[in-house]
Structure 1
């Protein structure tokens, strides 16, 4: 018994030492980047869970909200059993992401105020399409609309995680590198599944509008590129001319550059897209009061004097 107790004590101290080591070797830039990523993880968790179940973080794991306010306007969507099941899985994956990031950062940030209302998505989609949509687009009315709305979320997250590798010291903070790789893998998978669900429906008309699914995805991606102010970093389900696939097909089931590598986006680019303002210092869109964390606060010039993280952004916003 004494030997067993000694083993348990050793394992406990080893785990404690490893946790302390990971926190002590994480620099302030890495801490800020991980906490910044919580904004999108909160957004995705609430959208997926509410869309599938009609409730979110506060009903499942309220401690993960870290004292933050509940999202506005989000509700259960009219989904098929298979898509509902997928979105439930996505939602719980996001809860795991929140837990992992909060654990490694020692707490994270409170859930920021978020607008996931039908009216916000209606404004966003109308802006993407460049024409009035009558009746207004509603992400919760049916499965196709929900998938088109979900289409814009994981890709922003995965491009952010790709960029994070530019700013971390992988030789010293392997724990952070492993976490980013794990997060990137799941976000990429979610994006791929959403695109795969939409791809067979590419040429279907999105009722009652005159535009197809492919039209919506192409224009949503164009809007994200425009708001990001840093070139073309995503494309819809079709690309023209079809020169990236040997000229054999215009299909674009996975998004990537000319070598089919994932793009990266700086926090500035991400905020421009999520705020919908094209300006990282002017909140709006999904985060009407601004995103949380030191990076977002610094970019809004709120209460911070020193730059929290050395992040290069050459887009010239």
Structure 2
């Protein structure tokens, strides 16, 4: 595993130095009201709901709670995954939790139309090629088996988690803070479960590739740090001791900072990641036409 971790880590350090020299993208807070900040979360909640619903059930929000999509187009390429019984039950539970999150937000502040999502195997294949630094052959397919689906899931809830952590300090209203805190609790739980299921398989080779589960997570986390362009806020399942909890462990089931606090990201950082382009102004990836809500649309304007 060190063979992939070392260049990834060197890349992160080089990336930080390059930002100092060339000028980093905006990593500071943005100006927005509570409603816009919370509605920005729809971008991740829709993504998670559709990916989990299709993965477990083979059908999405238009079948389970069609009014929540507010007339937005159905996702591209999503389908039922070939999951083992235990993981399928877990993912189904996650799916219904995401439906509940959408209902909670809609009930308190109102909804927005679901943006066009691209959850096709081709979309994930591009992401995983970028994560490992070369073209995988055959292309990565998130729906082909349990391990691939869990790795694809690793790439999603954590982004929502760090987004909620970054949102709470900027909220002015107590009702808004309470809502986001309650959503954050479940998002962090989902991420912890996914990371634990993957950690149990950390040394397992992901067939037919000559890479382990842990190496894939290290690559995905390094890619998200690269795309977000605001430092190291994402870590794979294994880290060197100086990045582990109290510098005493190289296991990393929960990604956290030096004081074991959750990392936080701003909306521009999140857009850079979910677009897969490294720019909040350039849609792509899971959101080929850009995200929804006033914050995401303001960058497209």
Q: TM-score range by the shorter chain?
A: 0.7 to 0.9
Alignment deviations for residues 76-106 of structure 1 (CA, whole Å, 9 cap, x no partner): 000011100000100000000001111111x
CA contact (8 A) 1:242 1:251 kept: no
2:59 is aligned with 1:55 = yes
- Superposed displacement of residue 242, structure 1: 4.8
Deviation, structure 1 residue 247: 4.8
Aligned to 1:220: 220
Q: How far did 1:166 drift?
A: 2.4
The 2-side partners of 1:279 and 1:182 are apart by 30
What is the alpha-carbon distance in structure 2 between the residues aligned to residue 208 and residue 242 of structure 1? Answer: 32
Q: Secondary structure at the match of 1:144?
A: helix
| Structure 1: distance between partners of 2:92 and 2:258 | 34
Cα distance in 2 between the residues matched to 1:44 and 1:122: 18
Q: Distance in 1 between matches of 2:229 and 2:243?
A: 24
Q: If each structure's helix is expressed as a fraction of its own residues, which one has the higher value? A: 2
Q: Paired residue for 1:40?
A: 44
Q: Distance in 2 between matches of 1:248 and 1:110?
A: 46
| Unaligned segments of structure 2, at least 5 residues | 1-30
What is the SS of the residue equivalent to 1:196? helix
> What TM-score do the two structures reach when normalised by structure 1?
0.84
In structure 2, the residue matched to 1:168 is 171
Normalised to the residue count of structure 2, the TM-score between the two structures is: 0.88
Higher relative contact order (Cα pairs below 8 Å, separated by 6+ residues): 2
Greater radius of gyration (CA) = 1
Q: Secondary structure at the match of 2:129?
A: helix
Does residue 79 of the first structure (1) align with residue 83 of the second (2)? Answer: yes
Note if 1:93 corresponds to 2:97: yes
Q: Does 1:128 align with 2:168?
A: no
**For 1:131, what is the secondary structure of its paired residue?**
coil
Counterpart position of 1:12: none
* Change in CA separation of 1:164 and 1:58 when aligned onto 2, cut-off 3 Å: same
**SS at structure 2 position matched to 1:165:** helix
Aligned 1:1-317 pairs, distance under 5 A: 29-105=33-109, 107-169=110-172, 173-242=173-242, 244-301=244-301
In structure 2, the partner of 1:23 is none
- CA change 1:28–1:163 in 2 (3 A) is closer
Q: How far has the Cα of 1:245 moved from its partner?
A: 3.3
In structure 1, the gaps of 5 or more residues are 1-26, 302-317
CA distance in 1 between counterparts of 2:200 and 2:73 reads 38
Pairs aligned (count): 271
In the TM superposition, residue 249 of structure 1 has moved relative to its aligned partner by: 2.9
